[in-house]
Amino acid sequence: MKQAAGTYPYLLIAVTIVFMTVFSPLLLRAEIFKYVDKDGTIHYTNTPTYAHSETVSLPPLTEANFRKYFPVNAIFYGRSRSKGLSRMAKVNQAAYDCNIRQICGQYGLDCNLVKAVIRAESGFNPSAVSPKGAMGLMQLMPGTSRDLGVCDPLNPSENIEGGARYLKMMLDLFGNNMSLALAAYNAGPQAVMTWGGIPPFDETQLYVKRVMDFYDQYRY
């Protein structure tokens, strides 16, 4: 998660996608579609809901791009050349399921979505710290942590609670549009508002697609 300029105002407003587990090469399954209605409003979905939906063009998720944009958890998705197995398989993805279920029940969130965000943000590493200073499972920036009242972002329970609450705020702010909420979680709500949709940033577009792919994996 990036620290958006002026995060706090958007928290007040709110109160009132991808990477395959085993890749050869690094290909994505999930797709994002956009549709412009008769009023000129752009809608983003993960399925071609409308007759004239178009696939959103995304930059290729090469290993180089992955390491460039997501250095914190790149190690968790690297391929073992000796065994041909994803290192992700060695990570206990169920370690925080109890916390996730409890917190999602509190905020009315889909557990699979929060789990997908955690996987994309930190690879389930509670001690993850990005080069930009984002911390913990859901990669909260210091300013965002302060706004959310998260005292210890490296504490798994506090981090998940804060990150889930922020994600809920973004969903509320963008009418439960999952793609836009995820884009706002990554780039900040102001960027999504400014561009009228998913911002044309490689990192953000890849992020949305990765999370949506993980979300689909957990749902089925």
169-190 pLDDT per residue, tens? 999 999 999 999 999 999 999 9
The pLDDT, as a whole number, for residue 92 is 84
- Say how far apart CA 134 and CA 49 lie, in whole Å: 35
pLDDT digits (tens, 9 = 90+) for 120-163: 999 999 999 999 899 999 999 999 999 999 999 999 999 999 99
Among 94, 126, 113, 128, which residue's Cα sits nearest to residue 168?
113
The pLDDT, as a whole number, for residue 84 is 35
Average of per-residue pLDDT across 106-126: 96
The pLDDT, as a whole number, for residue 135 is 96
The pLDDT, as a whole number, for residue 106 is 96
Confidence of residue 43 (pLDDT cuts 50, 70, 90): low
- Considering the four listed CATH numbers 3.50.50.60, 1.10.530.10, 3.40.50.300, 1.10.10.60, the one that applies to the domain covering 7-219 is 1.10.530.10
Q: Which residues pair with 34 in a beta bridge?
A: 44, 54
The pLDDT, as a whole number, for residue 1 is 72
The pLDDT, as a whole number, for residue 91 is 72
The three-point CA angle 148-151-156 to 5° equals 90
Mean pLDDT, the chain, whole residue set: 77
Q: 112 exposed, middle or buried (CB, 10 Å; 0-12, 13-18, 19+)?
A: middle
The pLDDT, as a whole number, for residue 157 is 97
Instruction: State the pTM of this model.
Output: 0.67
* Cβ neighbour number for residue 183 with a 10 Å cutoff: 29
The enclosing H or E element of 107 equals helix 97-107
Please confirm, yes or no, whether 54 is among the known catalytic residues: no
- Catalytic residue among 54, 63, 121, 203, which? 121
